[in-house]
Structure 1
Amino acid sequence: MPILTLCHSKLSPSLTLQLPCNCMRRMGLITQFKCSVVNRTLTSSSVAPPTSKPHSRRLNRKQGRSSSLYSRPSLSEMNKERMANREKVYAFLRGIGIVPDELDGLELPVTVEVMRERVDFLHNLGLTIEDINNYPLVLGCSVKKNMVPVLDYLGKLGVRKSTFTQFLQRYPQVLHASVVIDLEPVVKYLQGMDIKLSDIPRVLETYPEVLGFKLEGTMSTSVAYLVGIGVGRREIGRVLTRYPEILGMRVGRVIKPFVEYLESLGIPRLAVARIIEKRPYILGFGLDEKVKPNVEALEEFNIRRACLPSVIAQYPDIMGMDLKPRLENQSNLLKSLLDLDSEDFGRVVEKMPQVISLSNAPMLKHVNFLKDCGFTLQQMKKMIVGCPQLLALNIDIMKLSFDYFQKEMGRPLGDLVAFPAFFTYGLESTVKPRHKMVSKKGVKCSLAWMLNCSDDKFEQRMDYDTIDIEEMEMGPSFDMNSLMEPRSDESASDYDDSEDDEDDE
């Protein structure tokens, strides 16, 4: 355009200019003109650039193909198709006995074939239709993305495949878990509580629900409370391995009321801690459902309240039994065998509460043995009330002890009536050596004076010139203080009693 302006000339159809062709293209002139370039004539009379029409034609062709070949279904049509597929899946589930009512809103396979594969996989794990109906949401777990990774991880930990069925019946929610986000942190936390890695499978098999707990919630407070009442820190791992259900117990609702009730009966708190160390499962005995009714039953059968602490400490399992029928059965049996009245039966239970768990045949066998030894009914009655262990000892060992008593010691039967615990001492380790020493020194003493003491105490007695009458008396059959010996690892806990209600909110 600059050259045209410079010439101040009007363009006419006859005007011929020799200009570069690419320059002419950029001008986009409205008027018609002829341009001769290297002996060629170019004629142009377009308003738009030359390429506009072909581009327009290409767009038209592309739009034509889109409308004819790539048309999309409407949203309503897609919803209808999705609902139709879902109804087919529901029909399949109903056909095999699964109620799909709870599956609305859950992402499910779009085809019956994929759902059938999922159900078959669960069947192969041992789950029945009833199990699936108990937790139908398991059908929302993908076999490849959810089930296989979780089961592989459990298997690598050591959880036995034979326990998978029971594991999933108790805690099917594990199939929704992420191995990295959910499962691995719990396993590491359990190890941090001194549970050995080799014991982790046992813990998970016993209590799979632990995989769903918050790490810093109930688990930490229950452990802190147990340490606070005197459970040894080094014992926590063994306690949790034997009874991992503790990790899910609320302190304020379960553990603390249980401990305080035993204290109210007269069992010192430290003794309660020692009992929990040995038998942690007692924390699972329902306080109102089992423990309190059983204590009432013991008192009903003439066990004195002052002796309840000793009874429970000796045999903690007594708190969780269906106790009253057992007490009735054993009371009636001993009444028929030995004519024990209700008061005598109470004394028997106080000295050996395990008597309520003895079966009838062994008890009858032991009574017959005493009868064959020559004891009268009244003597046997006195012996059983004084030493109920006679109903549970190894009868072959009792025979050897009785033969030695008769042939070597030459004592009257009355000595055994006065001290029936003679049968509870080791013949080779205690009875024979002490009898020889007493005989050698020529000391006349009762069986109780000779046997009812430690080895060191017996050595001291052998130096006595006279026998102290008080030392001839039998001591108590159970000493509560034996449960409360101090430990080097005992220390105060970080647990605060004021927190026990917070974790229940």
Structure 2
Amino acid sequence: MRVIASALHSTLCSLSSQKSDNPTTSTTIATTSASLSLEKPKGILQKHPQYSQTHTNISLQFKEKILCLEILGIDSSKALALNPSLHAASLHSIQAIISFLQSKGIHQKDLPRIFGMCPQILTSNIKSELNPVFSFLSSELRVPEHNFRKVINKCPRLLICSVRDQLKPALFYLHRLGFRDFEALAYHDPVLLASNVESTLKPKLEYLIGLGFTREDAIGMILRCPSLFTFSIENNFKPKVEYFLGEMKGKLEDLKEFPQYFTFNLDKRIKPRHLEVLQSGVEMPLPLLLKSTDQEFNEFRSGLFKVALLNDIYDVSIMSSIYLEH
């Protein structure tokens, strides 16, 4: 099925690039579109919000553009809505971008997700916008060409970022904070490079400092857990800090030692486990509370509960360390 879709896409794009004033070519395009419309694409076009059979003023090229996007696995209505420039883009220019990305190691099966997340790529300028991004990955982050695909799939948004105005300033800021492992930055946290320094990165750091951490401690937390830079202050930091300090009676020192606390879901992980431990009347270190699997958590909780009972009866507190080591 994938091979057929690829062939159809290539056929349509090839046909549309030929001269439209050639009677034979025009007939071939019309015949191709008609034959395709007898099958699945007919439903695609008829149901598409920007096309119906009554829209006689819509050009054949636009219909083919919708068809090609859908054959590629791209939601054309969403792509057109998020990137209005696609209305005027030619099939030839779209095919050129696809060919360019494939020349950089991007697979066809990657395209639906990449274009689905960032349809602006479909109308990017190859020379002034796309190529500089790959040069940046190679020269600044030392990413070999055969690993371009891995980085782009991790963060497609890199392809719509300006190297001069976005990627280089972000890299400079992160390097100044202490990020030295560019390989980890490229393969695991490339989204940080696509984050605005002034409106995204700095406010997160300042928020942590505002909680009472020293600047050095706050930076240390981010270096150990870079995903802190990706979390929303309002939707992640504030509710989790409020619960930790209020309900869990935790201390900032615990968060400094275990900043990964913010990576766990408040309602599905933090609250339920805290309440279970609270009801058991035992104490559990924050990493153990959240990082353990459900089975490990239940075993530890049960073991600690038994130790607590023994402590009350026999005052054998040394046994708790045995369970913790286990």
**How does the TM-score come out when normalised to structure 1?**
0.48
For the 8 Å contact 1:226–1:273, the answer to whether it is kept is no
Q: How does 1:45-444 map to 2 (within 5 A)?
A: 95-99=46-50, 112-135=59-82, 137-143=85-91, 145-197=92-144, 198-232=146-180, 235-304=181-250, 307-314=251-258, 316-323=259-266, 326-336=269-279, 338-340=280-282, 344=283, 348=284, 351-356=285-290, 358=292, 360-367=294-301, 377-379=308-310, 414=316, 416-417=318-319, 419-420=321-322, 423-424=325-326
CA RMSD of aligned residues (A): 3.4
Relative distance call for 1:335 and 1:256 in structure 2 (3 A) is closer
Cα distance, 1:188 vs. partner? 0.6
* Aligned partner letter, 1:172: P
Cα distance, 1:286 vs. partner? 0.8
Relative distance call for 1:422 and 1:119 in structure 2 (3 A) is closer
Which structure would you say has the larger Rg? 1
Cα distance, 1:230 vs. partner? 2.6
Q: How far apart, CA to CA, are the structure 1 residues paired with 2:67 and 2:167?
A: 36
The structure with the greater share of residues assigned to helix is 2
For the 8 Å contact 1:157–1:201, the answer to whether it is kept is yes
For the 8 Å contact 1:243–1:281, the answer to whether it is kept is yes
Q: Structure 1 stretches (4+) deviating beyond 6 angstroms?
A: none
Cα distance, 1:166 vs. partner? 1.0
Q: How far apart, CA to CA, are the structure 1 residues paired with 2:312 and 2:165?
A: 55
Relative distance call for 1:189 and 1:119 in structure 2 (3 A) is same
Q: Which runs of 5+ in 2 are unaligned?
A: 1-41, 52-56
Relative distance call for 1:319 and 1:332 in structure 2 (3 A) is closer
Partner of 2:13: none
Cα distance, 1:165 vs. partner? 0.4
For the 8 Å contact 2:45–2:67, the answer to whether it is kept is no
Cα distance, 1:160 vs. partner? 2.7
For the 8 Å contact 2:72–2:111, the answer to whether it is kept is yes
Q: How far apart, CA to CA, are the structure 1 residues paired with 2:89 and 2:288?
A: 49
Cα distance, 1:125 vs. partner? 0.7
For the 8 Å contact 2:45–2:66, the answer to whether it is kept is no
For the 8 Å contact 1:138–1:175, the answer to whether it is kept is yes
Q: How far apart, CA to CA, are the structure 2 residues paired with 1:277 and 1:199?
A: 24
Relative distance call for 1:188 and 1:132 in structure 2 (3 A) is closer
SS in 2 for 1:248: coil
Superimposed CA distance per residue, residues 76-99 of structure 1 (whole angstroms, 9 cap, x where no aligned partner)? xxxxxxxxxxxxxxxx99844232
Relative distance call for 1:113 and 1:218 in structure 2 (3 A) is closer
Q: How many residues align?
A: 277
Relative distance call for 1:161 and 1:94 in structure 2 (3 A) is closer
**How does the TM-score come out when normalised to structure 2?**
0.71
Q: How far apart, CA to CA, are the structure 2 residues paired with 1:380 and 1:203?
A: 53
* Aligned partner letter, 2:322: P
Q: How far apart, CA to CA, are the structure 2 residues paired with 1:148 and 1:200?
A: 20
Cα distance, 1:207 vs. partner? 2.3
For the 8 Å contact 1:258–1:283, the answer to whether it is kept is yes
Superimposed CA distance per residue, residues 167-200 of structure 1 (whole angstroms, 9 cap, x where no aligned partner)? 1111112121232232111211222322412432
Q: Which runs of 5+ in 1 are unaligned?
A: 1-91, 101-109, 383-411, 425-505
Cα distance, 1:266 vs. partner? 4.6
Q: How far apart, CA to CA, are the structure 2 residues paired with 1:271 and 1:208?
A: 32
SS in 1 for 2:193: helix
Relative distance call for 1:140 and 1:206 in structure 2 (3 A) is farther
Cα distance, 1:243 vs. partner? 1.9
For the 8 Å contact 2:177–2:219, the answer to whether it is kept is yes
For the 8 Å contact 1:231–1:276, the answer to whether it is kept is no
